[in-house]
Structure 1
Amino acid sequence: MSDGTNAQDEIAELRARSAPTRRATVPAMEERLYTPHKVLDHGFVRVIDYMGDDAAIVQAARVSYGAGTKHVSNDAGLINYLMRHWHSTPFEMCEIKLHVKLPVFVARQWIRHRTANVNEYSARYSILDREFYIPAPEQLAAQSTVNNQGRGAVLEGEEAARVLEMLKGDATRSYDHYEAMLSQEGQQGLARELARMNLPANIYTQWYWKIDLHNLFHFLRLRADKHAQYEIRVYAETICEIAKDWVPLAYAAFEDYRLNSVQFSGKAVEVLRRMLAGETVTQETSGMSKGEWREFEGVIHNGS
């Protein structure tokens, strides 16, 4: 399962192949095909295949809407219009298939996005490698005191050393027991599908993940956001760089209208109108809950 010599040889062989085609290709994506992009300590993302490009989005929109798009003077303008007005089907004309190696606890968070086709490495048939995600010291943080889903201050000194030692020790012992339970050298041992239950959530798994561009953008909007958990965010940021090469016009529109934008409720829009008119508005006079007001202030004052 590890990305060792055999995997590197396979990648080199795949990259050496070429074939004539009439389908749309993107030179930057052709360069990315089969190349692993390192994420975390043992993880990676690599492009296995893709379909479509910016032109496919435009072509699909013009088939759908006919003469209604003739006033759009260029492809970028049309793509911006589609993104701005939350059209989805033209972006579904593009698809990408990725090979991802990731810790199991990240995979469990990732799989909540149920709009992709997934095929995961099976520990029922094969033995998982001795590879675990161990956070870098700067990622060892305490629980946030204001956000139940977030991190607070970074652990330091003896506390950080104690936590790291437990993470490494527990992962190693769990894997030692996993190996000991499996059948070896003629001994009967425990079935792989049962022995795997003892493995820690920071062990690495792999999968093929195929998704259309509309749903990929939804995934990236949530997981590349600065408030997302670090361990899944770094994967999303790597995929953002890939998407930027694949569909540069669509990605620029996504960045402008989704990733770097904010959405206001009807109450928030009314409060903004009152503020622009010179009125002093407080949480008590806004009609918002304390949580809504805190988020609203975070956007207008801090941009977060």
Structure 2
Amino acid sequence: MAAAEPETDVKFRSDVDVELVKAAASDADVLWAARVSTKGESSLAEIEADPARSRGLINFLMRDRHGTPFEHSSMTFYVSAPIFVFREFMRHRTFSYNEESGRYRRLTPVFYVPGPDRKLVQEGRPGKYVFTDGTAEQHKLVAEATRESCRQSYRAYLEMLEAGVAREVARTVLPVGLYSSMYATCNARALMNFLSLRVRRDDSAFPSFPQREIEMVAEKMEAIWAELMPLTHAAFEANGRVCP
């Protein structure tokens, strides 16, 4: 995180935070759910006794798109990212969300500014375009213009608050580059659907073209999930990263 701006303590970042708050998610959850249809209740000892069979069953479920066994899990993530990322995130209505509120608290002056590795220039037409790096002058322009705009908007926000204007009205001047935070809860199937759309991978069965900032969030969520459910994650990758 960059050093505080002296005028209004404005800060600028180019990263995101993702933390696992709590989870009830394991490969065993998938196996129990799948085997109840043919064997009734299963024990953990049965699952651990034949790991190769368990791996094969998870791969079969993923390959043939038997999706419901992957719903018997739960993960809650804390996410801190720019507001424009959350507006994309909340298109995924299989998640449950609770976001910090600008009606009830004074918003912290932390804003997003694209980092030097962010590709800036769009070339081509929608559905066919690609992004390229941009020039040093373009990066300088983006950084300076973003910083000045955010400083100015936050000054206006503070002026209204100090004049007694309600928070829910004063916040209207703030840009979508402002950082917000939320809890997002999902099951493994919902997460796979999210990852299939929000992470760009050449080995995906269906190409996706996510905005880089939401992809940064998705990559961190995937790394956490891969540790919780390694067999399920491996099957997801082996079968083209298609949500079952």
TM-score tier, shorter chain, comes to 0.7 to 0.9
Matches within 5 A, 1:28-107: 41-66=14-39, 74-107=53-86
CA RMSD of aligned residues (A): 2.5
Secondary structure at 1:138 match in 2 = coil
TM-score (norm 2): 0.82
Percent identity, please: 35
Task: State the alpha-carbon separation in 1 of the partners of residues 138 and 194 from structure 2.
Answer: 34
Aligned to 2:112: 133
Q: Which has the higher contact order (CA 8 A, sep 6+)?
A: 2
User: Kindly tell me: are residues 140 and 181 of structure 1, through their superposed partners in 2, closer, same or farther at Cα, counting changes over 3 Å?
Assistant: farther
Aligned to 2:145: 166
Task: State the alpha-carbon separation in 2 of the partners of residues 149 and 177 from structure 1.
Answer: 40
Task: State the alpha-carbon separation in 2 of the partners of residues 166 and 190 from structure 1.
Answer: 27
Runs (4+) of structure 1 moved beyond 6 Å?
none
Structure in which a larger fraction of residues adopt helix: 1
- Could you give the per-residue CA deviations for residues 51-96 of structure 1, whole angstroms, max 9, x where no partner exists? 13111110110002338xxxx9611000000000111111000110
Q: Which runs of 5+ in 1 are unaligned?
A: 3-39, 262-304
Matches within 5 A, 1:110-121: 110-121=89-100
Task: State the alpha-carbon separation in 1 of the partners of residues 128 and 191 from structure 2.
Answer: 23
Shift of 1:167: 1.0
Aligned to 2:192: 217
Task: Identify the match of residue 190 of structure 1 among 138, 141, 165.
Answer: 165
Secondary structure at 2:78 match in 1 = strand
- Could you give the per-residue CA deviations for residues 98-147 of structure 1, whole angstroms, max 9, x where no partner exists? 01001000110111000011000011000111101100122141122244
User: Kindly tell me: are residues 241 and 116 of structure 1, through their superposed partners in 2, closer, same or farther at Cα, counting changes over 3 Å?
Assistant: same
User: Kindly tell me: are residues 143 and 42 of structure 1, through their superposed partners in 2, closer, same or farther at Cα, counting changes over 3 Å?
Assistant: closer
Secondary structure at 2:132 match in 1 = strand
- Matched letter for residue 60 of structure 2: Y
Is 2:129 the partner of 1:154? no
Secondary structure at 1:122 match in 2 = coil
Secondary structure at 1:47 match in 2 = strand
Task: State the alpha-carbon separation in 2 of the partners of residues 159 and 113 from structure 1.
Answer: 33
Q: Which has the larger radius of gyration?
A: 1
Task: State the alpha-carbon separation in 1 of the partners of residues 14 and 167 from structure 2.
Answer: 26
Is 2:97 the partner of 1:122? no
**Residues 141, 155 of structure 1: 8 Å contact kept:** yes
Task: State the alpha-carbon separation in 2 of the partners of residues 221 and 109 from structure 1.
Answer: 14
**Residues 57, 93 of structure 1: 8 Å contact kept:** yes
Task: Identify the match of residue 199 of structure 1 among 164, 174, 198.
Answer: 174
- Matched letter for residue 199 of structure 1: L
Task: Identify the match of residue 239 of structure 2 among 257, 263, 272.
Answer: 257
Task: State the alpha-carbon separation in 2 of the partners of residues 97 and 43 from structure 1.
Answer: 16
Shift of 1:148: 5.6
TM-score (norm 1): 0.66
- Matched letter for residue 100 of structure 1: V
- Matched letter for residue 195 of structure 2: L
Task: State the alpha-carbon separation in 1 of the partners of residues 91 and 240 from structure 2.
Answer: 20
